[in-house]
Amino acid sequence: MRIWISGHWNPSDKPAEIWLTPGMLVGTHALLPVAACLLVVNLRLAAGLDRLMPRRSLWWVGVFGVLPDLFSPHLSLAARFASRSHSMVFLVGAIILAAAAGSFFENGRRLLVAVVCWCAVVLHLAADALSGGIILGYPLRDVVVGGTFIPFRFWGWCDLGLLGLTWWLWRRSVALDARRSRRKLG
């Protein structure tokens, strides 16, 4: 495991694994924020409260979870380090994109959807920080934040686990919605 939290990134100083290690898999980036939203939805529904997040917002959240990779696809850690879409510059720009996405929802949900979409981008960067690191200050600073806390060999298992968890949380939210509807009718 290598951690370069306070080190400066210089391609000639780092081992060959930087050039060969891909980024975290796309499934994890898309499903992690969706699973988090579904967890909150299920907790609210189980407590007898409203859904809070419209169902169709989950697609937006998943797209925003992969947004940094859509803007700058990378197949190596070095490419991620040189990517503006994995930096603070992109996080600031994502605020505008999230506000635009939130504008497609009714007035009472716009801000919430925008904030959750922006948080999906933050989760993407956090996952990448745990799977090799990111350079938040790129292109102005070259300090790597994070390290290899989740080795490459576990990334497929992370995707499968999140797929199963997201499916279960989705089915649970459907069941809780149906139970809530029956209670309103009866």
Residue 3 lies in a domain: no
Quickly state the pLDDT bin for 186 (edges 50, 70, 90): low
pLDDT at position 103 is 95
Residue 148 lies in a domain: yes
pLDDT at position 17 is 46
Tell me the average pLDDT across 152-163.
87
Q: How far apart are CA 86 and CA 107, in angstroms?
A: 31
Sign of the dihedral defined by the CA atoms of residues 68, 72, 76, 79, in that order: negative
Tell me the average pLDDT across 91-109.
95
Residue 153 lies in a domain: yes
* Residue 139 structural domain: 23-175
pLDDT at position 10 is 52
Residue 18 lies in a domain: no
Which of 4-18, 56-70, 108-122, 125-139 is the least confident region?
Answer: 4-18
Tell me the average pLDDT across 141-161.
85
Q: How far apart are CA 91 and CA 152, in angstroms?
A: 25
Overall domain count for the chain: 1
CA 53 to chain centroid, in Å, comes to 17
Tell me the average pLDDT across 14-29.
57
**pLDDT at residue 2 above 50?**
no
Tell me the average pLDDT across 6-26.
49
Quickly state the pLDDT bin for 52 (edges 50, 70, 90): confident
> Mean pLDDT across the chain, nearest whole number?
85
Residue 162 lies in a domain: yes
CB 124 within 8 A of CB 110: no
Tell me the average pLDDT across 112-132.
94
Residue 15 lies in a domain: no
Tell me the average pLDDT across 43-71.
93
